[in-house]
Chains A and B, each alone.
Chain A
Amino acid sequence: MTNTGTIVLVETEDGLATEVSLEALTFARALGPVQAVVIGSEPGDGLLARLGEQGVEKLHLATDARLAAYSAAAWAAVLVDVARSTGAAVVLASGSPRGNEVLAHVAVRCEVAMAANVVAVNGAQPLQVSRQVVGGSVLEEMRLSEGLAVVSVAGHACEPASAGTLTTPEVVEVAVTLTDADLVARVVRTGEKPVDESAALTSARVVVGAGRGAGSADGFTDLLELTELLRGALGASRVVTSLGWRPHHEQVGQTGIRISPDVYIACGISGAIQHWAGIQSAKTIIAINTDADAPMVTKAHYAVIGDLHEVVPAINAELRRRTG
């Protein structure tokens, strides 16, 4: 039997598919028929409709009580079961922390290769893909194994888009086979759900970025005011968090958070690869920098050449004047 079709791990928040999971579904449609898998949570009211917009044919639900606490191995066991029972050719997820972790378990269980952070598919049988390496500054053309292909999709590799033909996904409950070993490394406690600034950072439409140009831990007053005036979120380059000027959860970049706001205002940031990896999918980038040749300036859409400590207060004053 020739394997066909793609199964996609759909991560949910409050019962609805996350934005990056919708991207993964859109990406997957280019490979053929798509079935979705939701693990460990009850589907919310609008979930089926959203999956239908994505052209999903079938939703495999794994609601076994043992899956309520996240365990990558257990989630992988579910995906492998579904892949085998459906004869899928591709197992796909978003390149989110969970997506990559679960897929690594799937790949090792199925003894096949895994391609992380894929941005394009270039050939089939075996699947050949382009994926981001070196913080997104280099593309690797990679050939996957014969047999099952395991692929995570880089965040913002595509925009979620509706399928041409809407579907009403058939819902099937997965009969899961879990071993004790699958459940050893599971979440035993979650922290109190704080006002999670990093979550605000990933969903903010406007992000004000702060780099070395801030000068010191005391150099953020104007930047924070700008952030507030625009009702945005503050992000920081790695230098800033490494120096302890701002907390680590505000770090945007290859080893921090990846964001895709409508507007990113990069203040005093040179634009090294480490940082660029986290902001390259911002729709509009405005750089404020003393150095007109800094990569952040040359790669930005708009720039102001000047010291952020002079430019930002002037912008704040102008914003206050206009918005009264």
Chain B
Amino acid sequence: MANVLVCIKRVPDVSGQVLLSADGQSVDARHVGWTVSPHEECAVELAVQVAAATGGEATVLSVGSPDAVEQLRDALAVGCTRAVLVEADTDRIGPVDVAAAIADVAREHETAGTAYDLVLLGNDAADTGDFQVPVRLAHALERPVVTGISTVEVQGERVEAHGDGPVGPEVFELPLPAVIAVMEGGVAPRYPSVMGRMKAKKVEIETLTASGDPVGAGRVRLSLPPEQPSQVEILGEGPEAAPAVVDLLDKLGALR
């Protein structure tokens, strides 16, 4: 039996133009939706699969605003059975604080009788892109960690983790308990069923508050790269543009 803790982050769902808050401290998400990164959707899927395969439980956790309940319920709807929200001021916390908050929950739950054999996270947050929370968490919990993993398989007291190295597939084998940072690509996240959504609504979400003074992210301000006026040269419309395209490719030295 392997209990899995999977950590997700509520992030603005920006696909088009990004706006910033007036104080330059955050993305202005009033006019966009919220989501979790594709890496984390895959981490949730893996958590649910490992829990099902081993007869364990998948618990989902988020550190951040109370609104992250929405993302926690999404994870409950696809098979996580418990959820934890650690409320924190997202403008004041950084990767050190997030890792510490997750470690606190893992330790408290272990004391209360639920030890997590595996902690899964996304490889990097879609907004702050810090690339370090999984490693900091593993260090705090004194567990081995690997990042950039696309599939995992728990075999007794060990987990086999598959990822893509610089020149091809790589396999890691870690003793449990372990921390693993997941990258999109190994599994297809399932869609929630109506039943799943109904069930998710009824789960009571354990709500905590981050303790202590945050270290912060060192953020001075955010800015948008200067908007470049469009300089596109239209080569033509439809198939008639083909000769102009090939002329251009020739000029660029792309014909070989």
Interface residues of A (CB under 8 A from B): 11, 13, 18, 70, 72-73, 95-98, 100-101, 103-105, 107-109, 113-117, 128, 131-135, 137-145, 152, 181, 184-194, 196, 198-199, 205-206, 230-232, 238, 244, 248-249, 251, 254-256, 262-263, 272-274, 284, 286-287, 292, 295, 297-307, 310-311, 313-315, 317-319, 322-323
- When C-beta atoms are compared, the residue in chain A nearest to B96 turns out to be A113
Contact assessment for A116 and B168 in the assembled complex, using a CB-CB cutoff below 8 Å: no
In the complex with contacts A108-B139, A190-B168, A184-B224 CB distance below 8 A: no
Q: Can you offer 25 A-B residue contacts whose CB atoms are under 8 A?
A: A13-B167, A101-B148, A104-B135, A108-B132, A113-B96, A114-B131, A116-B132, A133-B127, A134-B126, A139-B224, A140-B219, A140-B220, A141-B220, A141-B222, A184-B144, A185-B146, A187-B171, A189-B171, A190-B168, A273-B18, A286-B248, A298-B230, A302-B235, A305-B234, A319-B255
Contact assessment for B18 and A138 in the assembled complex, using a CB-CB cutoff below 8 Å: yes
Number of A-B contacts (CB under 8 A): 254
Q: In B1-57, which residues have CB < 8 Å from any A CB?
A: 12, 14-16, 18, 20, 27, 37-39
Across the interface, which residues of A come within 8 angstroms of B95, CB to CB?
Answer: 114
- When C-beta atoms are compared, the residue in chain B nearest to A99 turns out to be B131
Across the interface, which residues of B come within 8 angstroms of A109, CB to CB?
Answer: 139
Cβ-based interface call for B212 (8 A): no
- B166 touches which one: A11, A186, A273 (CB < 8 A)? A11
For the complex of A and B, list the 7 residue pairs with the smallest distance between their C-beta atoms, beginning with the closest.
A191-B169, A314-B239, A314-B242, A104-B135, A104-B132, A141-B220, A100-B131
**A206 to B232 CA separation, bound complex (whole angstroms):** 19
Contact assessment for A185 and B144 in the assembled complex, using a CB-CB cutoff below 8 Å: yes
Contact assessment for A134 and B18 in the assembled complex, using a CB-CB cutoff below 8 Å: yes
Contact assessment for A187 and B131 in the assembled complex, using a CB-CB cutoff below 8 Å: no
Across the interface, which residues of B come within 8 angstroms of A254, CB to CB?
Answer: 126
Q: In B52-93, which residues have CB < 8 Å from any A CB?
A: none
Contact assessment for A108 and B144 in the assembled complex, using a CB-CB cutoff below 8 Å: no
Contact assessment for A187 and B169 in the assembled complex, using a CB-CB cutoff below 8 Å: no
Cβ-based interface call for B184 (8 A): yes
Cβ-based interface call for B129 (8 A): yes
Across the interface, which residues of B come within 8 angstroms of A72, CB to CB?
Answer: 135, 145-147
The smallest C-beta distance from A215 to any residue of chain B, in angstroms, reads 17
Across the interface, which residues of A come within 8 angstroms of B219, CB to CB?
Answer: 140-142
Of B106-114, B172-180, B196-204, the segment with at least 4 beta carbons within 8 Å of chain A is B172-180
The smallest C-beta distance from B9 to any residue of chain A, in angstroms, reads 13
**A300 to B54 CA separation, bound complex (whole angstroms):** 50
Contact string, B228-244, partner A, CB cutoff 8 A, digits 1/0?
10111111111111111
The smallest C-beta distance from A242 to any residue of chain B, in angstroms, reads 8
Across the interface, which residues of B come within 8 angstroms of A262, CB to CB?
Answer: 252-254
Other 20 A-B pairs with CB < 8 A, given A101-B148, A108-B136, A134-B127: A72-B145, A97-B148, A114-B132, A116-B131, A132-B129, A134-B14, A137-B224, A138-B222, A142-B218, A145-B218, A186-B172, A256-B185, A263-B254, A292-B234, A299-B228, A302-B233, A306-B239, A311-B238, A314-B240, A319-B246
Contact assessment for A187 and B239 in the assembled complex, using a CB-CB cutoff below 8 Å: no
The smallest C-beta distance from A185 to any residue of chain B, in angstroms, reads 4
- B232 touches which one: A301, A307, A315 (CB < 8 A)? A301
Interface residues of B (CB under 8 A from A): 12, 14-16, 18, 20, 27, 37-39, 94-96, 124, 126-132, 134-136, 139, 144-148, 164-175, 178, 183-185, 188, 217-225, 228, 230-246, 248-250, 252-256
Contact assessment for A199 and B167 in the assembled complex, using a CB-CB cutoff below 8 Å: yes
Contact assessment for B256 and A301 in the assembled complex, using a CB-CB cutoff below 8 Å: no
Contact assessment for A304 and B132 in the assembled complex, using a CB-CB cutoff below 8 Å: no
Across the interface, which residues of A come within 8 angstroms of B124, CB to CB?
Answer: 100, 116
Across the interface, which residues of A come within 8 angstroms of B248, CB to CB?
Answer: 286, 302
Contact assessment for A138 and B27 in the assembled complex, using a CB-CB cutoff below 8 Å: yes
- When C-beta atoms are compared, the residue in chain A nearest to B18 turns out to be A137
The smallest C-beta distance from B228 to any residue of chain A, in angstroms, reads 7
**A262 to B255 CA separation, bound complex (whole angstroms):** 12
Contact assessment for A138 and B233 in the assembled complex, using a CB-CB cutoff below 8 Å: no
Contact assessment for A313 and B239 in the assembled complex, using a CB-CB cutoff below 8 Å: yes
- When C-beta atoms are compared, the residue in chain B nearest to A11 turns out to be B166
**A317 to B248 CA separation, bound complex (whole angstroms):** 15
- A141 touches which one: B14, B94, B173, B223 (CB < 8 A)? B223
**A66 to B161 CA separation, bound complex (whole angstroms):** 20
- A248 touches which one: B16, B175, B184, B218 (CB < 8 A)? B184
Contact assessment for B139 and A138 in the assembled complex, using a CB-CB cutoff below 8 Å: no
Across the interface, which residues of B come within 8 angstroms of A143, CB to CB?
Answer: 218, 220
